[in-house]
Structure 1
Amino acid sequence: MGLTIEYITGQTALSEEEIEGLKIPSISTRGELDEFEQLNIEKAIEWTIRLKVKPEELFSEKFITNLHKKMYNDVWKWAGNYRKSEKNIGVKYYLITTELKQLLDDALYWYNNKTYSNEEIAIRFKHRIVCIHCFPNGNGRHSRLMADLIITKLFNENYFSWGSSNLIKANENREKYIKALKVADNSNYVPLIEFARL
C-alpha cells in the first residue's frame, strides 16, 4: 500500500527515495506517521531531561545530528543524516555542512559574548537552523527542541511553550508560527520570541 502524505502549508515534501527510508512499513497515512514520530520524539525528550551539556558540545555538528537521530531513528533509516535532495526551503544540500558550521560558530560566539538576550540566542539559532534545513524531515521539531535545550541547559530558564499547540497540525497557532518565521527572515525575531513564550 505504501505511505501517502498530505502536506500542509510550510511542510517540506519528502522525495520517493526518502519515503522508502520508512522503517515501519505498516504506516500508510500522515496521521499514523505523526503518531510514530511523536512517540520517538518523546523518547528523545526523556533523554534530554537527564542531559548535561557544555556550550561547545551543544553547538557541535555531532550533537545536532545525534539529536535528530534520537528523535527519528525508530521511524526513518536516514535519521541523523543530512538530506541529499533540494527542498522548497533550505540551502543547497551540498552547502549544509558549511552553513551549519557557520551557525554553530556564530552561536558559540553569541553565547560567550552575551551578544543577545538568552531568549534571542535560542530563537536566532532555531530560525537559522530551520532555514538551513539539514534533514529530509523533522527540521521544525528539531529546531524547536534545540531552542528548548539552549534556553534550559545553557541558561537554566523555562522551556518555550511554542504557542502551547501541536505545530504539525493545520491550525491558527501554526499560522501565527509561520508568520513569525517569515518576519524572522527579515531579522526581526520579536514575533517569534513572543510566539515561543505564548
Structure 2
Amino acid sequence: MGLDPDYSAGNTPLDDDEKSGLLIKTITTRGELDEFEQIGIDRAINWLYGKRFDYKSIVSEEFIKNLHKIMFRDIWEWAGEYRRSNKNIGSDKFLIPSEIRILIEDVIFWIENNTFTPDETSVRFSHRLVKIHPFANGNGRHSRLMGDILINKHFALPVFSWGSGALLREGDLRKLYITSLRCADNLDYTPLIQFARL
C-alpha cells in the first residue's frame, strides 16, 4: 500500500520520489511515521548529551546536514541530503546551499557582534533554517533542535520549550506556532521568541 500521510496545516507534502525513500515499508500512516521519526529524534538528543560544540561547528553546513541524518537515517534514505524538489514553502531547491551559507554567515556575525540576545539569535537561526526548508521532511523539528543546540551548547542557557506541547498535530498550539512563524517571516520575532519560552 505505501505511505499515505494526512498533512495538517504547515506540513509539507512529500512527492512520490521522496516517499519511495522510506526505509520502513510497513509504515503507512502519518501517526506511524511520527512515532518512528520520534525514535530517531530521541536518538539525536541522546547523541548530543554531554558533547561540546563551538558555535562555528553548530552553525556549519556539515553539522546542519549531519544532525538531520542522525535524526532520520533509519526512516529516510535521503536523510541529511538537501531536497531535490520544490515545495509550497521554502527556498527554490537550487538556492538551498547558497541560502544556508548566507544564514551561517549571518549567525556568526550576530554572535560575534552581540547583535541580539542569546534567545533571539537562536530563534532567528531556527526560523531562518525552517524558512529555507532544506530537507524533504522534518524541517520544523530539525530547526527547533538546531535552535536548542545553539542556545544550550553555545550560550549555556536552557533549551526552549517550543510551546511545551506536541506541534505535529492540528490544534491551538500548532496554530500559535504557525502564526508566530508568520510574524517572524515579517521580521517580528517577538511572538516566536515568546512561544519558544512558553
Does 2:181 correspond to 1:181? Answer: yes
Q: Aligned letter for 2:40?
A: N
Question: Could you tell me which amino acid in structure 2 is paired with residue 165 of structure 1?
Answer: G
**Aligned residue number for residue 160 of structure 1:** 160
Amino acid at match of 2:159: Y
Unaligned runs of 5+ residues in structure 1 are none
**Cα displacement (A) at 1:48:** 1.1
Q: Paired residue for 2:33?
A: 33
Structure 1 stretches of 4+ with a deviation exceeding 6 A read none
Aligned with 1:7: secondary structure?
A: coil
RMSD over aligned CA atoms reads 0.5
Matches within 5 A, 1:48-67: 48-67=48-67
Partners of 2:40 and 2:175 lie apart in 1 by 25
TM-score computed with the length of structure 2 as normaliser: 0.99
Q: Distance in 2 between matches of 1:90 and 1:28?
A: 26
Tell me the distance in 2 between the aligned counterparts of 1:136 and 1:120.
26
Matched pairs, number? 198
Q: Match of 1:93, SS?
A: coil
Q: What letter matches 1:56 in structure 2?
A: K
CA distance in 2, matches of 1:27, 1:85: 22
Post-superposition offset of 1:136: 0.2
Unaligned segments of structure 2, at least 5 residues: none
Pairing of 1:111-150 with structure 2 (within 5 A):
111-150=111-150
Alignment partner, residue 72 of structure 1: 72
Query: Which residue matches 2:22?
Result: 22
What displacement does 1:56 show?
A: 1.1
The answer for the alignment partner of 1:42 in structure 2 is 42
SS of the residue corresponding to residue 82 of structure 1 reads coil
Deviation, 1:37, is 0.2
Identical positions, percent: 50
